[in-house]
Amino acid sequence: MNNFMEKMGPEGKGFRNLLIFLLIYIVGSPFLDAYPSLEILAHLFLSVTLFVALYTVQRHQNQRSIAMGLLLVLLVLYWLGIYNIIAFSEQGAYLLFAVYFGLLIYTSVMHLAHFQKVTKNILYAALCLYLIIGLFWGSLYTLLNEVCPGAYSGVLLDTAHGSPIHAFNYFSMVTLTTLGYGDITPQTVGAGSLCQMEAIIGQFYTAVIVGWLVGNMMITDGRKDNS
């Protein structure tokens, strides 16, 4: 069991597996929105992706235990919200989405900060971190729009089926990369402030984290040549 946990953890295949699930969820789930009978698969796949993310959380200082407890409450509220069993369960789930993604961001940053050399696992971790940042802001946008209806507007929101979380995840990725298509736009100052903060972080990530990785790759290659 311990060997399995090590293989699936952050030092093993955890980030690689998470990257695969994240990409499938982000790219594939929106296609299921048009089919109400298949929409449940998107919810199931999101739940599995969140569970897979647990294995990338370090086990020291009870971080994984905290993440597991948080995930359990999150999934309960999320599924209750899907079937409208309890009032405000959707808002609670979106809030916990942001907290959970925030924890994943923190643990991923700590993992990257302690690496000794650039490996495939580090690249997987960097890509996962970038996508999780996008999902983190997507959950914030969704929560804000639920608490303050009309905070965002656009064609994609008008045509969204069920939960708008996929539309906001798309909007978040577009904002993170500063593409700015304009098909979803903020309508309040608070909504705009979230957008500008994500755009700043997106530019910071590209300039600093990617530059840092490239610099360390050059250092690693230089050491190999000298040896």
pLDDT on residue 207: 87
Question: Residue 204, exposed/middle/buried by CB under 10 A (0-12, 13-18, 19+)?
Answer: exposed
Token output for 217 = 């790759």
Alpha helices in 118-210 (DSSP H): 120-147, 155-158, 165-176, 189-204
Token output for 154 = 């656009």
Question: Residue 216, exposed/middle/buried by CB under 10 A (0-12, 13-18, 19+)?
Answer: middle
Q: Note the CATH number of domain 2-226.
A: 1.10.287.70
Which stretches of the chain score pLDDT less than 70?
A: 1-12, 61, 217-227
pLDDT on residue 139: 97
pLDDT on residue 226: 58
pLDDT on residue 222: 55
**Residues 217 and 118 sit within 8 Å (Cβ to Cβ):** yes
CA distance 199 to 11: 30
For the whole model, what pTM was predicted?
0.90
